Amino acid sequence: MVLEEYQQLDEKSSAFMQSFLGRVETKPEFSSTTEKRSFLKLLLNDLQNNREKWDEELKTKALSVVRILGRDQAGSDPLFTKQASMMFLQLAGLQQSEKIVDSPSSHEALKCICNCIFLKESVKPYLEEEHVVDSCLHVLQSEDHQLSLETQFLTCRVLFFLTVGRSDLVDSLIKSNVSGAIAKVLSANIAQLEDPVLRLKIDRNAAINPLTVTSEALKLLFNLLLVGARSQEGTSTNQAFVECLVPIFRLIFLVPYPEPQPLVAPYSQAIHALMQFSFTTIAQVWSEQSSWTHSLFDRDADEHGYKYMASTLVGVLDKSIHVLLPSGEPDQEGNESVDTAIAPLLLVLSTLAEGDLAFKHVTAKLMLPKEKDRLKPVHEGFGLSAYLIRLMTSTMMPQTRDAVCETLFVLCDKDANKFTQQLGYGNAIGFLVNKGIAMEAPPDSQHDAEQINPITGQFLSQEAMPKLEDMTDEEKEREAEKLFVLFERLKKNGIIQVENPIAKAMQEGRLEEIESNSDSE
């Protein structure tokens, strides 16, 4: 039994202890949760009493065993006590000490703290009593110590777990300049991502690397912005974190995106954070960065660089949508997880478009239907505008649906007539009804001297259809399918509330009758 064998190790060497703990770590075998509980009590007690005697390697191995066993809460009660929390803090170096502890054993202790907070909310008060938030901030603000990636990552994670929904802690951190600490972590790691040589040396398979540290720091920033905005002092939150915008800009506009899907961590977290900033704050910081942004765009044609920002962000949106929705149909099984990926970027585009006319003009050109898109109904096809228009009526991606509608409405100057003319009445009416904007079906509209079907957005000249008697059975079937989809779309948008005549004909067998008649002929 594991417990009995461990009890007999008192006089054994450190190497023998490490070998035993390695076996427990790899394949823990306990006869019961009671035995596991007793083993953890003994191991925690030995860590507490022998932490000065045990060498770094043995402490690290013991804490690793504690962390792995603690993943299963059954029999892990000793880990969630005040005594265990105190010991983890001591081993992690989070006790308001001037000396920063940054070692393999402190990393394991930090991992134990993260796991305990994640698994048991009751652990948080023990940590708060020991002022762990202040200690974490002290570590991140350290100027005389080059923090390891592990310490940066895990300290940010502890702060993230502790500040979720806690406006009091967030307000305290803001006053203590947590923004500067996060900006320092972001700048150091994004500098490595910018450098082509250093970027190639990154071990992307490692659990903790500059990419994951950047992602964790951005998750913390997003949480602080979100919680801070809801607090009594929320009005000043944007300005409180203004220095974090520079590294965010550098990540989004200087560091190459991965292929084929660009909207992954840490870029997705950067977009989430950017979403929390107002246009005024974004514009203020961007305008102050001409020392490096001037090389990204033509200053004569694009005075402030907003056109460059628009083309970059829309390019990311275009690639992401085509990779995440390869079929082009948003309402398919498995697309629910895509919803949270695309919506934040759309909301950033909406904020920037509302704030600057040049940005809105460029974005509208890139996202609204072009001449070539009107050769068929504007929701058909595989261009970006067709994808976006189909997303406007999605039922399985509600966040993205709402974000697409709001963004396209902004690009149409929040003008309902222009909105329906650009996107087709059938596609636009659902959103307008939800907004409380009453609209009647418009007459045929003119577009560069060519008429457009106001319902579908297609050029009328492209709608010529063959006569029924000249159509093959396959063509008839395709047209019936098109009518079926159109009626379903109109019903979904609330425009009509009648039974789909194509569906009714299929139920009554009239379509099959037509087919059999044509066969007999």
pLDDT tens per residue, range 303-336: 788 889 999 999 999 999 999 999 888 888 777 7
The residue extents of the domains of the chain are 1-130, 134-255, 297-464, 473-521
Residues 389/405, Cβ–Cβ less than 8 Å:
no
pLDDT score for 513: 46
pLDDT score for 415: 92
pLDDT score for 512: 52
pLDDT tens per residue, range 339-397: 999 999 999 999 999 999 999 999 999 999 998 888 888 888 899 999 999 999 998 89
Cα 108 to Cα 63: distance, rounded to the nearest angstrom? 6
Residue 503 pLDDT class (50, 70, 90 cuts):
low
136: tokens are 């974490």
DSSP 98-111: SSPP-SHHHHHHHH
User: What pTM, to 2 d.p., does this model score?
Assistant: 0.84
CA 495-497-498 angle, to 5 degrees, is 125
Cα 328 off chain centre by: 21
pLDDT score for 297: 81
Residues 244/183, Cβ–Cβ less than 8 Å:
yes
Q: Counting every residue, how long is the chain?
A: 521
Residue 518 pLDDT class (50, 70, 90 cuts):
very low
Mean pLDDT of the chain: 86
In the predicted structure, residue 514 carries a pLDDT above the cut 50 = no
Cα 177 to Cα 169: distance, rounded to the nearest angstrom? 12
Q: Where are the alpha helices (DSSP H) in 356-472?
A: 357-367, 384-391, 398-411, 416-423, 425-434
pLDDT score for 516: 45
